[in-house]
Structure 1
Amino acid sequence: MPALISSLISSLSTAPPGSSAVASAAGLLAALGSLPDPRARRGVRHALVTVVAAEVCAVVAGYRSYAAIGECVADLPADTAAVLGIDADRRPSELVMDELAT
């Protein structure tokens, strides 16, 4: 069974002294912030940086298919989702992940 994203983010707390999991996640979000969004503005429900950050964390945790990544994101604890910029009540699904791959 793949590791949970929350365990991945928790492991970031072993980063150099003075940094935190939230700061490390913010660094990931900042690094992904310059990605151009290929989607049409109409119908976009989730920021590209949020979706890609969730995908990156899920893949690093061992999830491979869009369905598995979507399930992983759906099962995130609310505080972990918040760190990644995901609204706890409106999470990206595997359809969003698949849309970005095409």
Structure 2
Amino acid sequence: MPARSSSLIARPLGQLADTAPTVPDDLPGLLTCLAQVPDPRRDQGRRHPFAFVLSLAAAIAEWAADAPPNVLARLGSPCWEPDRGPVAPAEVTVRRVLQRIDGDALDAAVGSWLAGRERAAGQ
């Protein structure tokens, strides 16, 4: 029997991956539009096209906006609406947080969490 995933969002992400775009012909147009956005990164070390990164960010924002209340609750949503339950933060909130985050602190926190999971799995 395969091991059950401990990820809180693995199932919803799997569902997202299985969902075909409503109008597949629109994706090249979206990528063309996103390619017009100036890339603020240095030339050295660019691995992925900027339009690709932007399209993934848009997909994540869409997923968050459409995430079911039970997933938002499990992810720790403190914001509740009486008729809807937990709600996702607005896109602008996510963008501002990502712009201001200390990348080294995030890396250390996630690394610590992963190390703890590995230790627990080894016991």
Q: Same fold (TM over 0.5)?
A: no
TM band (smaller chain): 0.3 to 0.5
Higher Rg: 2
- The TM-score, its normalising length taken from structure 2, stands at 0.38
- The TM-score, its normalising length taken from structure 1, stands at 0.45
